[in-house]
Amino acid sequence: MSARGAMRGLALVASWAAFATPLQAQFSDVELHGFVDFGAAARVVSDPLQPDDLLLSEVRFQLDLAHYGERAEFAFKGDFTSDGVSDGVEVDIRQAMVSLRASDWLDVRAGRQVLTWGTGDLVFLNDLFPKDFVSFFVGRDDEYLKAPATALRLTFYSALANLDVVATPVFEPDRSITGERLSFFDPGTGGLVRAGSVPLAQPTRPPREVGNGELALRAFRTVSGWELALYAYAGFTKQPLAVDESGAPTYSRLASYGASARGALAGGIAHAEAALYDGSDDVGDAPTVPNSQLRGVVGYTRELVRNFNVGLQYYAEHTLDHERLLAASPAPEWEPSEIRHVVTSRLTYRMLQQTLTASLFAFASPNDGDAHLRPALSYDWSDGFAVTAGANVMLGDAHTFFGQLSDATNVYLRGRYSF
């Protein structure tokens, strides 16, 4: 039996388990839930580099099991996906963890889990937990922007402040754009590439050694309604931005320090966050290693009129030692701007007793001239069934962050039955 056959078998067993009510009765203290999700996304224009005009054509089955004990909880979430674009079946364990209220001052979460912190809306500074950028651009649900990691999370509570410690023993990078489905800009050739079109090596991951894991810290407390936090991270850049001796993309060492604040202001919510990405290229003149960066975001969100919410953010990414970077770069014209400015807006309008939601999230960079628009319309047919139609529109020159994906501009349709 091939690996794919085995996976299909596993998926079948899982589906059977989900609907076998006698089994459910036997483990009556195990809560069983999940969903079946159908998704399709098609390019608006063909990408000359990609054979397929479909970006998404999948049936996803999520099995969600939970057991709530006296002190501990066990949670499992597994996605079994029949993927019509890669023509395979994929299994993604999004959660397999034990969660313990160990004492009055300590919570423990151990295992595979999705982790999020920070204050930005779809803009992440101090949140260096893994993301899935392919899912984000091909029309999957927003929750798939966050990828799971196998980690140990300890949360200590005290009157002074609370402390989160997240240790990820084996480095978990982002699920980044590899040229499959989505073409991307390659500074080496100065053009768009897809997987296999140039001798692009698979990114080299750091060897699995003690010391090559990730450690993320957050100290937080709320002072008169304002949530204040300090962050630190030691690990690697989450995207393969460096180049190793053999010329393959790889992950260089990264340390990050930051702070954030969030609170109520004039009937809305204001937030601000900053992070210093301290890369391993101390002076910024090593072309194969990304430079250090200073990142910041400020934002404000509020209900403008009833059922209509507006959120605005300004985000900046300042690449340090930019002159030295340009001087040392083999392709200075493709290096990032010294400061990349981005504004985002989120508009949400709910209608028909909140069953119909129209939304638009937009990113736009006035100085790099690229943008990403995410309009969507979703309708809750019933408690169990929801449909969403939307689009991902990417604009800009081929070498810009969003512009490189302009041939992946797509419209999508999803339906989900939850139980």
Partner 1 sequence: MIRMALKLTLVLGVLTLATAAALVRPAAGQDLTDVNAIVERANLAAYYAGDDGSARVRMTITDAQGRSRTRDFAILRRDVADGGDQDYAVLFSRPADLRNTVFLVKKHVDADDDRWLYLPGLDLVNRIAAGDKRTSFVGSHFVYEDVSGRGLEEDTHELVETTATHYVVRNTPRDEGADFAYWTVWIDKSTFLPTRMDYVDGTDEVFRRIEAVEVDVVDGYPTVTTMRVSDLRSGGETVSEFSDVRYDLGIPEDVFTERTLRNPPRRWLSGR
**Contact positions toward partner 1, by CB under 8 A?**
33-35, 68, 99, 101, 107, 113-117, 142-143, 145-146, 155, 157, 162, 220, 222, 225, 227, 262-264, 267-269, 271, 301-303, 305-307, 309, 350, 353-355, 380, 382-384, 386, 416, 418-419
| Amino acid type, 45 | V
d(CA 367, CA 364): 9
The residue (of 114 and 195) whose beta carbon lies closer to partner 1 is 114
d(CA 96, CA 74): 8
The residue (of 148 and 235) whose beta carbon lies closer to partner 1 is 148
Instruction: Report yes or no: 58 and 36 within 8 Å, Cβ to Cβ.
Output: no
Strands (E), 7-120: 30-43, 54-68, 72-83, 88-103, 106-113
The residue (of 37 and 370) whose beta carbon lies closer to partner 1 is 37
Residue 269 Cβ, how far from partner 1 at the closest point, in Å?
5
d(CA 393, CA 379): 21
Instruction: Report yes or no: 169 and 110 within 8 Å, Cβ to Cβ.
Output: no
- What is the DSSP secondary-structure string of 248-273? -EE--EEEEEEEEEEEEETTEEEEEE
3-class DSSP assignment, residue 174: coil
The residue (of 32 and 326) whose beta carbon lies closer to partner 1 is 32
The residue (of 203 and 268) whose beta carbon lies closer to partner 1 is 268
d(CA 148, CA 401): 24
Start-to-end Cα distance in the chain: 32
Residue 73 Cβ, how far from partner 1 at the closest point, in Å?
8
Residue 205 Cβ, how far from partner 1 at the closest point, in Å?
24
Residue 210 Cβ, how far from partner 1 at the closest point, in Å?
26
**Which pair of structure tokens corresponds to residue 92?**
């993604």
The residue (of 113 and 400) whose beta carbon lies closer to partner 1 is 113
Residue 315 Cβ, how far from partner 1 at the closest point, in Å?
18
The residue (of 319 and 388) whose beta carbon lies closer to partner 1 is 388
Tell me the chain's radius of gyration from C-alpha atoms.
Answer: 22
Residue 107 Cβ, how far from partner 1 at the closest point, in Å?
5
Residue 409 Cβ, how far from partner 1 at the closest point, in Å?
25
| Amino acid type, 28 | S
d(CA 43, CA 40): 10
The residue (of 253 and 302) whose beta carbon lies closer to partner 1 is 302
Instruction: Report yes or no: 286 and 252 within 8 Å, Cβ to Cβ.
Output: no
**Which pair of structure tokens corresponds to residue 234?**
């030691």
Residue 268 Cβ, how far from partner 1 at the closest point, in Å?
5
The full length of the chain comes to 419
